[in-house]
Structure formats: C-alpha cells, structure tokens
Amino acid sequence: MDEEKDQQLNKEIRSLPNYQMKREKKEEIQQQLMETAAHLDQKERKTVRMKRFTIGVASVAVIMIFSFIALTGSEFFQQADKQTDREITATDNPENNPQSENDKLTIQENTDTETLLREQANQIVTLLANEDYQSLASYAHAEKGILFSPSVNLKDRHQTFSQDEISTFMTDSTVYQWGTEDGSGRAIEMTPKQFHSEYMYPSDYQSADEITFDQFESRGTIKKNIQSYFPESHAVEFYKEGEHEMGWHSLNIVFEQNQIGEWKVVALAQGQWGS
Amino acid sequence: MSRQTIVSEWFQWYHQDIYNFLVYFTGRTDTEDLVQEVFIKAMKHAHRFSGKSSPKTWLISIARNLAIDDVRKKKRRALHYSKPLEDAFHIGDHETPETFIDQEVRNQELYQLIQSLRKNYRDVVILHGIQELSVAETAEVLDWSNQKVRTTYSRALKSLRKMKGGADHG
C-alpha cells in the first residue's frame, strides 16, 4: 500500500515543471563564457611558451657549464691532487671558514624570524576570533596601515586602513567597496563588520588544519601576488578545510619591517576556492 | 582540448540541467548568475575533473556548493541588516517558482512541501526525484553511500506523504 503511494508520489515529483533558461540570457552567458575561456587558453599558452623558453635557456646554461668543466677539468684535478693535509684540516675548522659561519647565522636569523612571526600571527588570529580590532591596531604597520583583501591577488583598489581606523573597525558603519567577487564580478560592498565575518574570519582559524610560513603558491585558481606586492614581506597562512572540497578558506597575515626593524602587519588577505 | 571547446560543449549539454537544479535548490528563478559562475569555476578547474563521474554530476556538485555559499553569504548579510532569512531569497523583483509553477495548485503545494522538508530530504528529492539523477549519481553529488540515498529518499517520500495527508485533511 505504502509502496503504491510512494510510486504515485514519485511520479508527481518527476512531473514537476522543468525550468528553462531564457534564450537571450543563455546566449549572453555563453558569449561571456567563451570570452573568459579564450582569455584563459591564451594565458595558458603564454605560460607554456615561457616554460619552454626557460627550459631552453637552462639547457644551454647546463651545456656551457659542462663544456667549461670538461675544458678545465684536467687542470682542476691536478691542482686538487697537490692539496696538502694542512689545507684539508684548515677547511674542516669553522674558524677558518667565515663564509660558512655567515650562512649559519643567516639560517639562524631566518628561523628566529619565522618563530617570531608564527607566534605573532597566532596572537592576531586570537584577536580576530574575538573581533578585537582595537588591540589589532597595535600590530598594524604605522606608516603603511593594513590592506584588507578579499583575495590572495592583492590590488591597489583594495581597502587600506590606518592604525586609528583599525581601532574603530567594528563600529564603523560606512559601506566600503572591498573589491569584486570572483566569477560573478559583483562588487563587494559592505561595512567593515560584515567584511570581517564574511572575508576575514569566515572559518575558525584557531583550529586551522594547516599553518604555513611563506607559502607563496596559490591553493586556488587566482594568482597569489603577496610576494611581488610586498617584496620585503613574510607571510603566515592559516588554512581551514571546508564542509566540501571547494569550501576551504585561508587567512594570509603579511608582515613587513618598519623603520626600526619591528615586524608589523601590512595586509590581511583571504583565500578560498577561486579567489 | 582547449577550455573553449570543453566549456562550449558542457554548456550546450548541461546548462538547462544546472539552471533547473538551481531554481529548485535556491527557490529562485533568477539563478543565471550562479549558472555562469558554475561554468567559470568548472573551466578554471577542468584539469581536476577526473572523468570518473559524468560532467553533469560534477557540474551539479559545483552548483550545489556555490548555492550553499551564496545562501550563507545572503544569510550573513540578512542578519547584519536584521532582516529575516526568507528576505534574502526575495530581494528585488525576481519571480519565484510559486508565481509561475504551471498554474497547477497541486504542483504548487508539492513544491512548497518539498521546500519545507529537512535539508537532507530536500537534497535527495531535488537530485534523485526532480533532476532524475540515478542513485549512484546522487550519492556522488552528496558524498553519500548508495544505500544512504535509497533510505533517505524513502524517508523523504514518507515525510512528504505525511505532510500531504495533513494538508489534504487539514
């Protein structure tokens, strides 16, 4: 009995109208898609050409280096044979090798910077989670302010807030234009508070699935230009998986040194599938 | 094959399926922007399409994810503007399916009952029932097992029958 009723209901469901997109709208969308596809294909061809060129140049360079080694090889090995035990001992002693010591110092400094910035980034994520922009202001670069970007492709037209403006971020009721949505191209127009929940803290980054340092490769389809936009910067990225494959979010906290050498935040950029 | 060729073929074959799905899924008929976004995302990520599933299933998965994100965004905005969630679907003058649903009262009633179902029942009714995706295809879009699709669909029908009974006798 129930089975019969289910079959009847199933039939009713399947006979619900099938909505058709209007022809003009379909043609308009198709036209736009073709243009976007052509643009992407062209971009891809350029990248392939560039790669081939780079490989070509690299191959020539390798051949030249090998030729040089082959030509000078015999002389080189003869000199090597003449090396005394004293010289070998001297090379093993770090005190006699200042270049290697400098390298070690640089590595040490870099590691210290990474540790420092990861720690600062954690503090900033806690402030964002608590919507505490007043405290966040003290982390901002005093001269440059913070660029708030809805995408990992930073642009001049994205909004930059000074330290003072950041202090009042959550109470500022002005509707700003923050950029455009990927795909639809719609303008992102909202108040700072709305931008915070939609683009700065849409996910719980305090329980991030991955935290990376200077990960300058894009996870999505949009080119990540943080390194070229802020060449002297370091960035910490908090990545959070989504409910579905394309639902991930990331927050990129970008630091640059101020005039007295302190690391300060110059940009907060969100990444997501397609932005 | 170039993106132009792929997207042109996929758009020709599947744009109506995607549009129809989005109309039922979002409860709006002005979903053309989302349709466009689906194909833009698909062409950008064409290299990720494994070919294990049909392009139609893959495109519907993208459409569903985009529609969920879209509703979430509208919900956030609606909350900020202190408007009830329903208003997020009714900004502007766009028609809703209720206003032109074949003029058949029974269809309208059934459509409204489907919309009022709990989320997973609604998902499976739209995909397996209205879109007529197979059990395996529905399972793929929803990332469920085939068995879960069958059980949930059966429960959704039962729930609909119950509601219809209430409506008929009410």
Provide the pLDDT confidence category of residue A90 given band limits of 50, 70 and 90. very low
Same domain, B127 and B112: yes
Same domain, B15 and B50: yes
Q: What is the CATH number of the domain that holds B29?
A: 1.10.1740.10
Provide the pLDDT confidence category of residue B125 given band limits of 50, 70 and 90. very high
Contacts of B43 in chain A (CB under 8 A): 33, 36-37, 40
Q: What topology does CATH give the domain A99-272? A: Nuclear Transport Factor 2; Chain: A, (3.10.450)
CA dist., res. A175 & res. B20, Å (int): 34
Q: What is the CATH number of the domain that holds B137?
A: 1.10.10.10
Q: How far is B48 from chain A (nearest CA, A)?
A: 11
Q: Which of B85, B100, B115 is the last residue of a domain?
A: B100
Beta-bridged to residue A260, according to DSSP, are none
Same domain, B24 and B73: yes
The reply to whether residue A13 touches residue B125, judged by beta carbons under 8 angstroms, is: yes
Q: Could you tell me whether strands A146-149 and A263-272 are parallel, antiparallel, or unpaired per DSSP bridges?
A: parallel
Q: Does A18 touch chain B (CB under 8 A)?
A: yes
Same domain, B95 and B11: yes
Same domain, B18 and B42: yes
Same domain, B76 and B158: no
Identify which of B23, B33, B45 has the shortest CB distance to residue A221: B45
Same domain, B26 and B107: no
Asked if A151 and A267 touch (Cβ cutoff 8 Å), the reply is: no
Same domain, B13 and B57: yes
Report, as an integer, the average pLDDT of A26-38: 87
Return the pLDDT at B93: 41
Return the pLDDT at A230: 92
Identify which of A9, A17, A19 has the shortest CB distance to residue B107: A17
pTM value is 0.50
Same domain, B96 and B126: no
pLDDT per residue as tens digits for the range A1-14: 678 888 889 988 99
Q: Which of B60, B81, B100 is the last residue of a domain?
A: B100
Report, as an integer, the average pLDDT of A116-135: 94
Same domain, B72 and B117: no
Same domain, B122 and B46: no
Q: Does B9 touch chain A (CB under 8 A)?
A: no
Q: Does B162 touch chain A (CB under 8 A)?
A: no
Provide the pLDDT confidence category of residue A85 given band limits of 50, 70 and 90. very low
Instruction: Return the sign of the alpha-carbon dihedral for residues B24, B30, B31, B35.
Output: positive
Report, as an integer, the average pLDDT of B96-108: 60
Q: Does B8 touch chain A (CB under 8 A)?
A: yes
Contacts of A219 in chain B (CB under 8 A): none
User: ipTM above 0.90?
Assistant: no
Q: Which of B100, B132, B162 is the last residue of a domain?
A: B100
Return the pLDDT at A178: 92
CB crowding A214-245: b at 16 or more within 10 Å, else e: ebeebbbbbebbbeebbeebbbbbbbbebebe
Please report, for chain A, the start and end positions of each structural domain, with discontinuous segments joined by +.
30-78, 99-272
pLDDT per residue as tens digits for the range A151-162: 998 988 889 999
Q: Is A270 helix (H, G, I), strand (E, B) or coil?
A: strand
Same domain, B74 and B125: no
Q: Does B20 touch chain A (CB under 8 A)?
A: yes
Domain that holds residue B139: 101-170
The count of structural domains within chain B is 2
pLDDT, mean over chain A? 81
Percent of chain B with pLDDT over 70: 75
Asked if B103 and B120 touch (Cβ cutoff 8 Å), the reply is: no
Percent of chain B with pLDDT over 90: 40
Q: Does B27 touch chain A (CB under 8 A)?
A: no
Q: How far is A118 from chain B (nearest CA, A)?
A: 30
